Amino acid sequence: MTGFFDIIENIIKALVFPGLLFATIGGLILAGFDRKVIARMQRRVGPPILQPTYDFFKLAGKETIVPHAANKPVYLAAPFVGYVSLIVMMTLIPIGGYSAFSGKADLIVILYLLTIPAVALIVGGSASGSPYAGIGVSREMVTMMAYELPLIIVFLAVARLVGGSSLEFSLQYINAWQVANGPVISHLAMIPAALAMLLVIPAEVGTQPFDVAEAETEICEGPLVEYSGLPLGMFKLNTAVKMFVMTSLFSALFLGGIYNGIHTGVTLWGIHFLDIIIRAIIHFAISLVVTLICMTTVHAVTARLKIEHLFKFYWTVVTGLALISLILVWIGL
Amino acid sequence: MFKKMVAASAAKSPWIYHINTGSCNGCDIELVAVLTPRYDAERFGFKLAGSPRHADIVVVSGPVTSQSKERLIRTLEQVPEPKVVVTLGSCPKSGNVFKGSYSVECPVDKYTHVDVSIAGCTPKPEAVIEGLYKAAQILKEKREAMNK
Amino acid sequence: MIPFLKVALSNLFKKPSTRNFPAHNVEAKPAYRGRISFDGEKCRNCGMCVKVCSPAAITRTEIDTPEGKDIKFEFDLTSCTFCGMCQDFCDEKAITLTDDYHMVATDAKDLISSGVAHITVPKGKLVCGDDCVYCTLCAKKCPEGAITVDRAAKTWSVDHDKCTKCGTCVSACPKKTLSFEDPKPQVVALDSEKCVYCTLCAKKCPEGAITVDRAAKTWEIDTGACILCGKCIDNCPKKALSFKDA
């Protein structure tokens, strides 16, 4: 019997919280806030908060055109592959200190999973057979190389800080460590790493000024140029969910353990569901703040970079910031 | 339920693709002015799309020169259904002062069904908003017709 | 980047500068040239607007009616450049470009401003009186270019074939000397009681249209040949001849 309930519980974890439904709705609302606040920063009224949701539903109802030159199965499957990997990532990241599935080295799994949405974009773009997509794909690859290096160094710094010389890659353990020792960001040595992570997020999500791969004004949204209908909607949804996943990852890595005091004690079938709801809301609020800082504000005040500038920026400034943290942590500060 | 949501969203998220078929640039400027803070068409979900494949509303400006005729037809073919064609200004509908020229093959009506025409030379941004809003409503009607 | 950041953050707490347009209508600026309104009552069908319209957006359709002519003017707003030339050239101020900019339609027929002008065409021909100072204003105003005035030679002439009898020149004349003369009587009639059959009329007739037989005391006129010049009437010693309606 317990086996059966375990399966039900896992399905709920994967499909409702913190998986599919939570990640999707959270991502869409986050993207809506992003667009609204950018509009307000430009003294506009801006679209409603639900605008990305409307966009998704509208695209779902459009005709899907597959170009002659395209490889049909790959072309249509790519956005869904990216979406699934994002949902899997969401279940691995602790939401308010509560992670659905945890493992020994889930940070490394996340590092691999993070590349999949970008790879899906690359594969889908290449499969569409458009020269615009070709340019977009090459730029997406360079962007990926640019931000992967600082991201790995940030992960290493956190792992070294938490686990000492043995390196700790379990998010569950990192969270528990933060409950005991305070959030990672409260350690001075980690502030450059946090900054580096904040700079990696917009490139990972693909927002201005790091949207070189999807520059809609110069290369017609790059890899997405031939996409229409539901697959395009899925890519747009991926961007929204990626926003939520990346900000969640940031709060799990740097702001964990601040939910300590929340214990209402209300239980239903042995689950502290009220705690989970409150923590999820706080978690979402933190994600929102991180989004506003690292994506919305940056988007509002900058123009798109060139690809070589982006690459240079990530491999010098951002990697430098991450390395400072790593060195400081390594020498034990 | 899902279909109703889709139909309702169609009017709330119309993406515009703008094609210039030899326009003098006046209408093009006014169309972009519609996205500025003063007029802010993004309130209604309007967005300029980079590729015709992403578009719902195709805005045509200019008197359809012989050079651009082929491109206009090809672009219109690439837009997924349901789509709405809007003519901006006098030129695409009649040729305006260019009518009768050897290099102009107006009106657009010869190549596609025009759903909304915005008159003016150039139209005021408010008139453009009005026309695009009407186009969004037509988009919703077309989407609902597809449900049946 | 820092100044931009400052502006962005301060904007965040300001009211948006967006006009709430479809909810609150926005008036066009003064002298905005929008939808054309046409007043058929004022129109005299001179056709100047059609001439000056560069995109040929104005069409005239004539409908014959018992009283005169009905002329339907159609202003195609999807063809108009809104230059305002028709308004400037209309002497009767029948055309105005209003400040209505809401010119959006799903059907092109909704974008046509039209009006009907009721025209009573004067019967007589255009004549110039003695007060003429040869200012050439009539010639300048004539939409058909039918009038020629020579200031130096002090001549005034009109090409009746070109003249549409619109009356633009009549109202433009500063001396009020232009007019449409009354229609000429159709035939020369004889009062047989006064006639002495002197044959003077027949002799004076430039066309030889009159035949008089003194012996048989008959007087005949070929109305087809008569040009109604009136020389016979002027020369009749007994004043027996006169113009009469046919």
Cβ distance A43 to C18 less than 8 Å, yes or no, reads yes
Both C134 and C165 in a single domain?
Answer: yes
Kindly tell me if the per-residue pLDDT of A3 is higher than 70.
yes
User: Residue C64 has which token pair?
Assistant: 């014959």
Count how many domains chain C has: 3
Please tell me which of the candidates B121, B127, B134 has its beta carbon nearest to residue C81.
Answer: B121
For an interface test with C, the pick among B97, B134, B140 (most C C-beta atoms closer than 10 Å) comes out as B97
CATH code of the domain containing C99: 3.30.70.3270
Chains interfacing with C (3 or more CB pairs < 8 Å) = A, B
Rounded to an integer, what is the distance from CA C36 to the centroid of its chain?
A: 20
Range name among A81-90, B36-45, C95-104, C224-233 with the lowest pLDDT average: C224-233
Kindly tell me if the per-residue pLDDT of A1 is higher than 60.
no
So what's the pLDDT on residue C186? 67
C18 touching B (Cβ < 8 Å): yes
CB neighbours of residue A316 within 10 Å: 10
Cβ distance C103 to B126 less than 8 Å, yes or no, reads no
So what's the pLDDT on residue A260? 65
Both C170 and C227 in a single domain?
Answer: no
Kindly tell me if the per-residue pLDDT of A67 is higher than 80.
yes
Cβ distance C16 to A302 less than 8 Å, yes or no, reads no
Cβ distance A37 to C12 less than 8 Å, yes or no, reads yes
Asked whether residue C192 is domain-assigned, the answer is yes
C86 touching B (Cβ < 8 Å): no
Prediction ipTM score:
0.87
Chain B partners within 8 Å of C32 (Cβ): 124
For an interface test with B, the pick among C11, C12, C79, C86 (most B C-beta atoms closer than 10 Å) comes out as C79
Of the candidates A118, A126, A129, A54, the one whose C-alpha atom is nearest the C-alpha of residue A89 is A118
Name the helix (H) or strand (E) containing B118: strand B116-118
Mean pLDDT of B25-50: 87
Closest approach of chain C CAs to the CA of B6, in angstroms? 24
- CB contact burial C35-58 (16+ within 10 A = b; e otherwise): bbebebeebbbbbbbbebbebebb
Kindly tell me if the per-residue pLDDT of A280 is higher than 60.
yes
Domain boundary among C165, C180, C195: C180
Structural domains in chain B? 2-143 (3.40.50.12280)
Cβ distance B81 to A62 less than 8 Å, yes or no, reads yes
CB pairs under 8 A between B and C: 89
For an interface test with C, the pick among B31, B84, B85, B94 (most C C-beta atoms closer than 10 Å) comes out as B94
Please tell me which of the candidates B38, B87, B120 has its beta carbon nearest to residue C101.
Answer: B120
Kindly tell me if the per-residue pLDDT of A265 is higher than 80.
no
C30 touching B (Cβ < 8 Å): no
Q: What mean pLDDT value characterizes chain C?
A: 80
So what's the pLDDT on residue A292? 83
Both C114 and C46 in a single domain?
Answer: yes
Domain assignments of chain A as residue spans, ordered by start = 2-330
Kindly tell me if the per-residue pLDDT of B38 is higher than 80.
yes
Chain C partners within 8 Å of B39 (Cβ): 18-19, 21
Kindly tell me if the per-residue pLDDT of C118 is higher than 80.
no
Mean pLDDT of C166-182: 78
So what's the pLDDT on residue A271? 67
- CB contact at 8 A, B87 and A72: no
Closest approach of chain A CAs to the CA of B19, in angstroms? 13
Closest approach of chain C CAs to the CA of A31, in angstroms? 17
Kindly tell me if the per-residue pLDDT of C230 is higher than 80.
no
Kindly tell me if the per-residue pLDDT of B57 is higher than 80.
yes
Instruction: Give the pLDDT confidence of A133-161 residue by residue, as tens digits.
Output: 888 888 888 988 889 899 999 888 888 88
Query: From CA A242, how far away is CA A201, in angstroms rounded?
Result: 9
Chains interfacing with A (3 or more CB pairs < 8 Å) = B, C
Instruction: Give the pLDDT confidence of B1-23 residue by residue, as tens digits.
Output: 777 778 788 888 889 999 988 88
Bridge partner residues of C71 (DSSP): C62, C117
CATH code of the domain containing C214: 3.30.70.20
Which residues 40-69 of C are in CB contact (within 8 Å) with B?
54-57
Please tell me which of the candidates A43, A45, A302 has its beta carbon nearest to residue C11.
Answer: A43
Q: What mean pLDDT value characterizes chain A?
A: 84
Kindly tell me if the per-residue pLDDT of C246 is higher than 70.
no
Label residue C183 by pLDDT band (50, 70, 90): low
Please tell me which of the candidates A53, A55, A228 has its beta carbon nearest to residue B80.
Answer: A228
A129 touching B (Cβ < 8 Å): no
DSSP C182-203: PPPPSEEEE-TTT-----HHHH
Label residue B58 by pLDDT band (50, 70, 90): very high
A39 touching C (Cβ < 8 Å): yes
Closest approach of chain A CAs to the CA of C32, in angstroms? 26
Q: Could you tell me the residue range of the domain that residue C135 belongs to? A: 126-180
Both C86 and C149 in a single domain?
Answer: no
Chain C partners within 8 Å of A41 (Cβ): 8-9, 11-12
- CB contact at 8 A, A61 and A216: no
Cis peptide before B107 (omega within 30 of 0): yes
Query: From CA A209, how far away is CA A231, in angstroms rounded?
Result: 25
Query: From CA B81, how far away is CA A61, in angstroms rounded?
Result: 9
Chain A partners within 8 Å of C16 (Cβ): 39-40, 43-46
pTM exceeding 0.80: no
So what's the pLDDT on residue C185? 61
- Of the two residues A175 and A298, the one the predictor is more confident about is A298
Closest approach of chain A CAs to the CA of C22, in angstroms? 14
Query: From CA A78, how far away is CA A72, in angstroms rounded?
Result: 10
3-state secondary structure at position C179: strand
User: Residue A303 has which token pair?
Assistant: 């123009």
Query: From CA A156, how far away is CA A319, in angstroms rounded?
Result: 12
Closest approach of chain A CAs to the CA of B42, in angstroms? 5
Mean pLDDT of A235-253: 88
Q: Which residue of A has its CA nearest to C15?
A: A43
Query: From CA A248, how far away is CA A296, in angstroms rounded?
Result: 16
Chains interfacing with B (3 or more CB pairs < 8 Å) = A, C
Both C112 and C132 in a single domain?
Answer: no
- Of the two residues B84 and A214, the one the predictor is more confident about is B84
- Of the two residues A101 and A91, the one the predictor is more confident about is A91
Label residue A333 by pLDDT band (50, 70, 90): low
3-state secondary structure at position C73: strand
Both C94 and C164 in a single domain?
Answer: no
Cβ distance C79 to B130 less than 8 Å, yes or no, reads no
Rounded to an integer, what is the distance from CA A238 to the centroid of its chain?
A: 9
For an interface test with C, the pick among A38, A45, A289, A292 (most C C-beta atoms closer than 10 Å) comes out as A45
For an interface test with C, the pick among A34, A38, A43, A295 (most C C-beta atoms closer than 10 Å) comes out as A43
So what's the pLDDT on residue A261? 66
Crossing angle (nearest 10°) for helices A191-205 and A229-254: 180
- CA separation (Å) from C138 to B57, C89, C135, C167, C182? 53, 15, 8, 10, 20
Both C112 and C40 in a single domain?
Answer: yes
Both C169 and C239 in a single domain?
Answer: no
A64 touching B (Cβ < 8 Å): yes
Instruction: Give the pLDDT confidence of A15-47 residue by residue, as tens digits.
Output: 777 778 888 888 899 899 988 888 888 888 888
Crossing angle (nearest 10°) for helices A20-41 and A229-254: 90
Of the candidates A97, A91, A90, A113, the one whose C-alpha atom is nearest the C-alpha of residue A9 is A91
